[in-house]
Structure 1
Amino acid sequence: MIRMRIMTGAYLFYDNKLLMLKRSKERELAPDLWTGIGGHVEANEHYIPEESCLREIFEETGIRRNDIEQFKLRYILMRRSKDEIRQHYIYFGNATKMNFINSDEGALHWIDLSKVLNLEMPLTVNHMLKHFLNNPNQESVFIGSVNQSNMEWSCLAE
């Protein structure tokens, strides 16, 4: 039987920096790797993943919705991992302040954009951030699916 895991994630910018999470070694998914902020979509959030993402941002950073500008869905990442299909809604936004609180998910750091791709991160995150940094002015939502070790991109038409 194939199960579904639906998640949301956020990448917040401040000036020329990106807020990244160095995940705890004890986490089940992506232990000791760099990722964005995020987590699982709750049952009451399935129809509005943005609410799930904003909840996760607040829980993991203390940053509230009114401290984020230009918050938009930019990517939907799809990946199969054994008997599970993972669907990940990724939002990008600009933080209006640099202050945050840490959670038990790991340690948060503002990373200079020129150094982000040097971090050890999951394959899908690495491909997505490369795509975003190479296409910074795109306003479309992109769907990315893993094909072996590569990512295939398509634009979600309105």
Structure 2
Amino acid sequence: MNLRKGKGQKIMKSNFNDGKLRNMTSVYISQDNKILLLYRKGGRVVNDVWVGSAGGHFEEFELNDARACMLRELKEELNLSEKMLENIKLRYVTLRRTKGEIRQNYYFFAKLNQDYKIELNSNEGIAKWFDIEEIKSLEMPYTAKYVIEHYVDIGIKDDLIYGGIANSEKVVFIELPEF
């Protein structure tokens, strides 16, 4: 439907359902300069691509706690608990508007404690360790691909949280300082 806005300007009414959000979280686990990724199979939103070590949608009781969602998904998908990880940090928050909703993704990074030299398997697909430089070449969901590229090139060198806004060409990241 076209609407008029004075002097012949047209405004297109969006098909976007205002206020529809999809909140998701993901964690990337590293050990010995490798990162564990999951080739997700049978997912509702993401399927047949490489994603973080574990992740998924927020439950209603987690809406204000991305860390709680990440830890629940970690336990469900890899049977890992928080005590098995070290240096767990939220590093990226991205926004993408697609398919009539705004998708908010919270990306955590952590290290598998050296005491746990175990083979990790997931009930969501195929879990595999990759050299850190190798992961940039894998097929991933849109914002995840840009998060990984930014992390490997910049984020791995600091401890900052970055906010990313997606457009059809790329994801633009800025530092998300506390003030």
Fold-level match, TM-score > 0.5?
yes
2:134 maps to 1:118: no
TM-score normalised by structure 2 residue count: 0.83
2:175 corresponds to which of 151, 155, 158: 155
How many residues align structurally?
156
Name the larger-Rg structure: 2
Residue identity in the other structure for 2:141: P
2:102 corresponds to which of 59, 79, 85: 85
Choose between structure 1 and 2 for higher RCO, CA contacts under 8 A separated by at least 6 residues.
1
2:29 maps to 1:9: no
1:132 CA displacement: 0.6
1:154 is paired with a residue of what secondary structure? strand
2:154 maps to 1:131: no
Structure with the larger strand share: 1
Moved over 6 A (4+): none
Question: Counterparts of 1:8 and 1:98 in 2: how far apart (Å)?
Answer: 25
Partner of 2:44: 28
Residues 123 and 149, structure 1, Cα contact 8 Å, conserved in 2: no
2:85 maps to 1:68: yes
Q: 1:22 to 1:111 in 2, by over 3 A?
A: same
Question: Counterparts of 1:69 and 1:155 in 2: how far apart (Å)?
Answer: 23
TM-score normalised by structure 1 residue count: 0.94
Question: Counterparts of 1:157 and 1:77 in 2: how far apart (Å)?
Answer: 15
Question: Counterparts of 2:130 and 2:122 in 1: how far apart (Å)?
Answer: 15
**Structure 1 unaligned runs (5+)?**
none
Partner of 1:142: 162
Identical-residue share of aligned pairs (%): 33
**Structure 2 unaligned runs (5+)?**
1-16
Residue identity in the other structure for 1:102: S
Q: CA RMSD in A?
A: 1.2
